[in-house]
Amino acid sequence: MAEVVIRFEDVTKAYRKGGEALVVLDHLDMSVEAGEFLALMGPSGSGKSTILNLIGGLDLPDSGAVWVQGTDVSRLSADALSSFRANHVAYVFQAFNLIPVLTAEENVALPLLLTPLTKAQRREQSRFALEIVGLSDRMDHKPKQLSGGQEQRVAIARAIAMDPTILLCDEPTGDLDRDSADQVLELLARLSSEFGKTIVMVTHDLQASEYASRTVHLDKGVVVDPTIA
């Protein structure tokens, strides 16, 4: 049995909206094994993105514990969380979220500033990451000069440049056409199968979920398909 790298223990999270508490995760228990490609599906407001934010420590649970690689991230200080994110998780967003004033190569090299690597090593590593996503010929292009699919592949290159254990993908194909979406999904599947990355992907797209090794359905903050929870 593979190692469990992510575990939610009785996690509850609510947001306040107009004075009312909106519960997005309701005593959630779930786990993800190392090397798994997990798809999270469900209607808007079902808590999918919140799960990603909690795994990466971008948000904190109201109660319960979020264990990632043996660490309860909900108990870490701000600085420890930053360090944890830099070392263990990486995000791929629906809106790509590249820094517009930097080139593809510079965007990929950005998180490497957090490492003790030399400038030359950083360049080598970012070029290697761009090669993996098939964009070696676009490294001097700025985001505006790339197509949506290319932007997302640069974002994936940035995510893998740090060699994280876990990739958190929030609707990575939401803004892409079918062909581009398939290229990105194939890339993610390859990262999971060839490079052993644990991938948690939020998606509304049934076809996208087919690339995953497992799919969890959520509704109103709870897992609705008990057979795969």
- Binding footprint of other proteins on the chain (CB under 8 A): 53, 56, 58-59, 78-79, 82-87, 90-91, 93, 97-102, 105-106, 109-114, 119, 122-123, 126, 158, 162
Minimum CB–partner distance for residue 118 and other proteins (Å): 12
Minimum CB–partner distance for residue 197 and other proteins (Å): 17
Q: Closer CB to other proteins, residue 93 or residue 211?
A: 93
Minimum CB–partner distance for residue 1 and other proteins (Å): 30
Q: Are 157 and 135 in contact (CB under 8 A)?
A: yes
Dihedral over alpha carbons 19, 24, 29, 33 (to 10 degrees)? -140
Show Cβ contacts of residue 130 under 8 Å, excluding neighbours closer than 6 positions: 104, 105, 108, 136, 138, 139, 154, 157
Which residues, listed in sequence order, are joined to residue 66 by a DSSP beta bridge? Answer: 8
Q: Closer CB to other proteins, residue 85 or residue 153?
A: 85
Minimum CB–partner distance for residue 107 and other proteins (Å): 9
Q: Closer CB to other proteins, residue 49 or residue 209?
A: 49
Minimum CB–partner distance for residue 61 and other proteins (Å): 13
Q: Closer CB to other proteins, residue 88 or residue 215?
A: 88
At residue 117, what are phi and psi to the nearest 5 degrees?
Answer: -65, 150
Q: Closer CB to other proteins, residue 80 or residue 206?
A: 80
